[in-house]
Amino acid sequence: MAFATNQWYVAAYGAEVGRDLLARTVLGEPLVLYRTESGQAVALADRCVHRRYPLSESRLDGDTIVCGYHGFTYDSGGGCVFVPGQQRIPRTARVASYPVVEQDSFVWVWIGEKDKADPAVIPRAPWLADPAYAVVCGMEPLEARYSLLVDNLMDLSHETYLHGGYIGTPEVANTPVTTEVDEENGIIYVSRHMDDAQCPPFYAKSTGIQGRITRWQDIEYHPPCLYLLHSRIAPQGVYPKPDGDDSEAFHAEIVYAITPSTENTTYDFWAVARDFAVDDESVSEYLRSSNHTVVMQDVVALNLLETVIAAEADGYQELSINIDTGGLAARRILARMTEQGRAGALR
Amino acid sequence: MLAGDRVFRIHWMPGSDTLLGVCHCGAERSAEEPVELWDWLLSHPDGHHAPHPIEPAPEELRIEVSA
């Protein structure tokens, strides 16, 4: 499977990157991440140029990494500043450094040609760093290719079957969706508005709503990495007012960063930001625990799918139906991005 | 809802299995499954003909046809 290069990907939460060395593999490229003494996040290739020893298994000395094998020492730009036993530092003694941007609680890295890295194109998830929202989050490694997680998230009708009793109710699978693709800006939008639905435990317990609800799910996928689910929950029949006021509804911004690690493994970053009960730690704990359970239900299912796909003969013919409209659009845009990245690399 | 100038839309018509594809050029087509519809939408402008309202011909171009 090919990856879409010349793109930004989430490598970590900002809170994960500190004065300890963190190893992450993004699009097959091993990275070591750390934070300089002034607080700047750094991403370097996680292989010493000398004998490939993982720098993530080494140590920090100030802002430099000292290789744990022979002591080759690299600055935060990847330049070698010390080699053992000799004065001359070979001209080629350096490791690749990666453009890094910290935004919305994520550490984004650019995988591709460095001169094309434009921080302005990184999609936003502002709720994750907004004090008006309470956030629970986590990351689960998937033993499955990233396209399986994209398929999963673009078609939420699976909530009814895989996540019944948590976030799924019959109305999710039974409600038609509208799918939109903005070709110029590379955004896919899938909208499912349920006017009269059961309230699943996930929202009943967190919002306190008794009875049926009006539930809106609006997916906004910014391929390849950032997936947003704008979830609006309100007592049945309560809609935004003509002036836009929607204070009678509960809003959860469900954010995923889908980062391919290797061809068959993926980082599944997930977060739930809410604008209700923001100071209630018991609600945070409930949503953290429930959403983790839901994510793990997906992880188990997708890991199983990966073993199935890895073992099957070539040429399996999938069947796509109406619920797959958004997922198919995502596949097409990802394929185009992969092709564009490949073309850029060949130039 | 996306507001760009080049947005393709597929509406799943409520109460049916029918999908309605709407191109940014105004062309529309319905289908019973999404693969065919994306193929058609993304092939814009090939085969896309926006539905134009039928207006009466100007007075001077009308031809009287006798029964």
- Residue A292 and residue A205 share a domain: yes
The pair phi, psi for residue A277, each rounded to 5°, is 45, 45
- Partner residue opposite A184 with nearest CB, options B5, B14, B41: B5
Residue B67's pLDDT is 40
Looking up residue A225, the CATH number of its domain turns out to be: 3.90.380.10
Predicted confidence at residue B56, as pLDDT, reads 57
In this structure, are A47 and A135 located in the same domain?
A: no
Overall number of domains in chain A: 2
* A150 and A103 part of one domain: no
A60 forms beta bridges with A65
Dihedral sign from CA coordinates of A302, A304, A310, A313:
negative
Chain centre distance of CA A239: 30
| Contact residues, chain B, for A329 at CB < 8 Å | 38
Rounded to whole angstroms, the Cα distance separating A16 from A97 reads 19
What would you report as the CA-atom Rg of chain A, rounded to the nearest whole angstrom?
A: 22
Query: Which structure tokens are listed for A49?
Result: 């140029």
Is residue A174 within 8 angstroms of chain B, CB to CB? no
CA angle A181, B2, B49 (to 5 degrees): 60
Structural domain includes residue A201? yes
Same domain, A190 and A131: yes
pTM of the model: 0.93
Q: Residue A105 is part of which domain span?
A: 7-121
Contact B12 A322 (CB under 8 A): yes
Residue B54 sits at the chain A interface (C-beta within 8 Å):
no
Whether A2 is in a domain gets the answer no
* Spatial separation of the C-alpha atoms in residues A146 and A240, rounded to whole Å: 36
Q: Provide the CATH number for the domain around residue A59.
A: 2.102.10.10
Instruction: Examine the pLDDT at A10 and tell me if it is beyond 80.
Output: yes
Note whether A117 and A140 are same-domain residues: no
Which positions ≥6 away from A171 have C-beta within 8 Å? Answer: A194, A196, A197, A198, A215
Task: List pLDDT tens digits, range A242-286.
Answer: 999 999 999 999 999 999 999 999 999 999 999 999 999 999 999
| Residue A114 covered by a domain | yes
Q: Which residues contact B10 (CB under 8 A, 6 or more apart)?
A: A178, A179, A180, A325, B19, B20, B21, B22, B34, B37, B38, B41
From the list A179, A184, A332, the residue facing B42 with the nearest CB is A332
Q: pLDDT category, A183, cuts 50, 70, 90? A: confident
How far A179 CA lies from chain B's nearest CA (Å)?
Answer: 5
| A221 phi and psi angles, rounded to 5 deg | -105, 125
Residue of B nearest to A194 (CA): B14
What is the pLDDT of chain A when averaged over all its residues? Answer: 96
Mean pLDDT across chain B:
82
Mean pLDDT of A106-125: 97
**A7-13/A106-111 β-pairing:** antiparallel
Average pLDDT over residues B10-18: 93
Quick one: pLDDT band at residue B61, thresholds 50, 70, 90?
low
A-interface mutation test, from B38, B39, B42, B43, most A Cβ less than 10 A away:
B38
DSSP state of A313: P
Give yes or no: residues A97 and A146 share one domain.
Answer: no
